[in-house]
Structure 1
Amino acid sequence: MPNLLVTGKSGRMGHTIIEAAKLAGVPVTATHDAGEDLDAAFSKATCAIDFTVHSFTTAVVEAALKHGTSLVIGTTGHTDAERQVIYEAAKSIRIVYAANYSVGVNTLFWLTRLASRILTQDRFDIEVTEMHHKHKIDSPSGTARRLLEILNEETNTSYQDDIAHGRFGNIGPRKPREIGMHTLRGGDVVGDHTVLFAADGERVELTHKASSRMTFAAGAVRAACWLEDQPVGLYDMQDVLGLK
């Protein structure tokens, strides 16, 4: 069983992760907030769970490498350079890096991959929608971005060339290989995601709706426990759940 460090202890996810660890019987031996000693916090833990902001990730990774601490990273919105820091660190320490730690959302990832193989783009148009609370700062959400990555992989399309982020004006008919991405923000929505496959005469929709942050927090604690028995490397929640 790991000794946990929870970063961002005063934030919404920080509070929830601490509660999830308590419910699971996993000890939280250190916490951290902005302005506190990160190095001292890492010295007290064997695994850190970070759901703060992407700009803090490099500091978290550097501290983890110094102390040989495992990482569970739930922060989204990373730049390419920040993701590269994570990938390099995974050559030396154990890391679970996932867009979403919900069991239900990871089932949605799995179903989306299967559906895209059956509901092929020669007949079905694909659209993705996501909605989150009004305080969320990145768009599209990390979960939506992962759904798009899965769709790109299965349809041989490109995120840069084939994803349409909303539509405005006289844009003409829908392009054959286009995948639509639509972001909604408002209220206190924890997270809604839908992948829609639309053809002439029929439509298939895969939807997940989260009503509590506890589902993500419990998954992150589960990932931290799972990491204890794994070799050095980079993993995601599909690995934790045995869906690969």
Structure 2
Amino acid sequence: MNAKTSPLRLLIHGASGRMGQALLRLAAERDDLQVVAAVGKDAPGQRVVDGVPHFSAAELDAAPEFDVAIDFSLPAGLDHVLALCVRRGRPLVSGTTGIDATQRSALEAAAGTIAVAWATNFSLGVAVLNELVERAAAALPGWDCDIVESHHVHKLDAPSGTALTLGECAEQGGATPRYASLRAGDIIGEHSVQFTGLGERVELVHRATNRDIFARGALHCAQRLVGRPPGAYRVRDLLD
């Protein structure tokens, strides 16, 4: 008879945000995951909520042992959780966007000692789209490449981080992408990559209809990152 496998211990950094709340809710529905620390920016009004210990960002160093950290916070918070993971030798999954070149360098340096998965979008479908865009760009040299992204009116950055990542994939395939952004209503996220040649056009599209896809993707990546050797991983590296 096989012994029962212990749940994977998660530290969720940015727990008070929209993504953090989704991660807490979805993790609570699973027996193979246990949130041992939910870290938010401000001091928690209640130390333990639904069995999950809550900490402020200032208390991060006091967090209990964990197997992997998931970070969806603000750029100012990334440095601290990254440093904690390096000190404790734990992998990090981060979807914090808007980071600067210094922080990107810090993530690359950390990947020398721990497994790191940083992405602008944790949708598994977008991970596949990234690969398709790179392959299409390589197969269609000289074609125009246009990336159109649509999001809700409250999203400030444009183009979106996902659009820029798609553009990087297109560039790796040899294309030169152009961008267009739309902010309207409550659109969760739509990305279209169009390759246009003489007399024909190829369109690759992803539409998000539920924000939970990003949290599910991050949980998927967290599970598959544990036990991996140090390095920088993409979502598409963790699909299997």
TM range (shorter): 0.7 to 0.9
- CA deviation string 1:82-103 (max 9, x = no partner): 1001111111112111221111
**Structure 1 equivalent of residue 157 of structure 2:** 138
Aligned to 1:38: 60
- Residue 182 of structure 2: SS of its match in structure 1? strand
1:21 to 13, 21, 27: 27
Asked if structure 2 preserves the Cα contact closer than 8 Å seen for 1:2 and 1:224, the reply is no
Inter-CA distance 188–44: structure 2 relative to 1 (3 Å threshold): farther
- Report whether the alignment pairs 1:192 with 2:190: yes
**For 1:113-132, what aligned pairs fall within 5 Å after superposition?**
113-121=134-142, 124-132=143-151
Which of 175, 180, 183 matches 1:182?
180
- CA–CA separation in structure 2 for the residues paired with 1:65 and 1:94: 10
Any idea what SS the aligned residue of 1:221 has? helix
2:215 match: 217
TM-score (norm 2): 0.85
Q: Is the 8 A contact 2:134 2:171 kept in 1?
A: no
Q: Aligned to 1:184, what secondary structure does the other structure show?
A: strand
- The alpha-carbon deviation at position 34 of structure 1 amounts to 0.7
Amino acid at match of 2:166: L
1:139 maps to amino acid: A
Q: 1:58 aligns with which of 64, 75, 79?
A: 79
Cα drift, residue 68 of structure 1: 2.1
Partner of 1:154: 173
- Distance (whole Å) between structure 2 residues aligned to residue 92 and residue 200 of structure 1: 49
Report the Cα distance in structure 2 between the residues aligned to 1:209 and 1:95, rounded to whole angstroms.
Answer: 26
Q: Which fold has the larger relative contact order, with Cα–Cα distance below 8 Å and residues 6 or more apart in sequence?
A: 1
In structure 2, give the amino acid aligned to 1:120.
Answer: P
Distance 2:97 2:27 in 1: 21
Q: Secondary structure at the match of 1:27?
A: strand
Name the % identity.
38
Match of residue 108 from structure 2: 87
TM-score, structure 1 as length reference: 0.84
Residue type of the alignment partner of 1:83: R
Match of 1:204 among 202, 207, 210: 202
Q: How far, CA to CA, are the matches of 1:142 and 1:15 in structure 2? A: 21
- Residue 16 (structure 1) shift: 0.8
After TM superposition, give the deviation of residue 108 of structure 1 in Å.
Answer: 0.6
Q: 1:44 to 1:135 in 2, by over 3 A?
A: farther
Match of 1:102 among 123, 130, 133: 123
1:55-96 deviation line (CA, Å, top 9, x unaligned) = 221111112222222210111122111100111111111211
- Match status 1:9 vs 2:15: yes
Partner of 1:228: 226
Q: Which runs of 5+ in 2 are unaligned?
A: 1-6, 43-55
Deviation at 1:186, TM superposition (A): 2.4
